[in-house]
Amino acid sequence: MRRISLGHVNIALFTLIAILGIVYSRDLAWGARALIAYQGGDFPPLQETVLLRDAAAILKDPQGDPAAARELLEASLAIDPNSGARFNLGLVLERQGDPDGALGIYREYRRSDPLHLPTRLRLDALLSAAGQAEERRTLLEEGIAVFDRAIRLHIPRPDPAFDARYNEKAVRIYQELQRGAGLLRQRYQQATGQPYPAGGAS
């Protein structure tokens, strides 16, 4: 009976390791970078965050390849389906000439993060371009109500017992919410030709 030599086992083992290294090269590279950072006392960003960051860099480049950005975003969403990668995927679809697909993505993301202003603004722009006046008006009314409610909940109340940076952060969040509500009110007036009612939409 023919015996299997240790050399044959080693060849098979090294071949398997090489195949796994190729298949999981991106994950292994991220793991190596994360380990180095961790040993240096840093907490490296999560893998889905790295993928999103790389995709966003591609999207910022006018010559960037939307297909490459889409691949990165889909990999990020496979890890965290409700992350900001969903909004960026909508931007990719717009760049690829698929406004209906982008609308679907933005609608999904708005449900998971109703205070994400860029999503609401992109939705508004696409609905306006598509002539969907009723859905646009509903979107803006709902958005204004959501932001107004958040503003009431986030009125800054500086507390001297806390570090000043935490009080400053509360003020920044409040100001961002006010800015968002103001932008949505402007869009509402553009869409309807009249200011948003003082007591809310009828």
Tell whether 21 is covered by a domain. Answer: no
8-43 pLDDT per residue, tens: 667 777 787 878 778 777 777 766 766 666 666 666
pLDDT band, very low/low/confident/very high, at 101 (cuts 50, 70, 90): very high
Does residue 16 belong to any structural domain of this protein? no
How far is the C-alpha of 56 from the C-alpha of 52, rounded, in Å? 6
CATH code of the domain containing 44: 1.25.40.10
For position 170, what pLDDT does the model report? 85
Could you give the angle at which helices 47-60 and 66-79 cross, rounded to 10 degrees?
A: 160
Domain boundary among 62, 89, 113: 113
Specify the DSSP class assigned to residue 40. T
- Compute the distance between CA of residue 139 and CA of residue 120 in angstroms, rounded to an integer: 8
d(CA 43, CA 185): 40
> How many CA atoms are closer than 13 Å to the CA of 24, on its beta-carbon side?
9
What pLDDT score was predicted for residue 37? 64
- Among 54, 78, 113, the domain boundary falls at 113
Do residues 85 and 60 both lie within one domain?
A: yes
In a domain, residue 125? The reply is yes
Structural domain range at position 43:
32-113
pLDDT attached to residue 159? 75
Whole-model pTM: value is 0.72
> How many structural domains is the chain composed of?
2
Mean pLDDT of 85-98: 94
In terms of domains, do 60 and 72 share one?
yes
Do 118 and 185 fall into the same domain?
yes
Asked if residue 122 and residue 82 are part of one domain, the reply reads no
* Residues 193, 56: Cα–Cα separation, whole Å: 35
Q: How does DSSP assign 121-149, residue by residue?
A: HHHHHHHHHTT-HHHHHHHHHHHHHHHHH
Strands, E assignment, the chain: none
Average of per-residue pLDDT values in the chain: 87
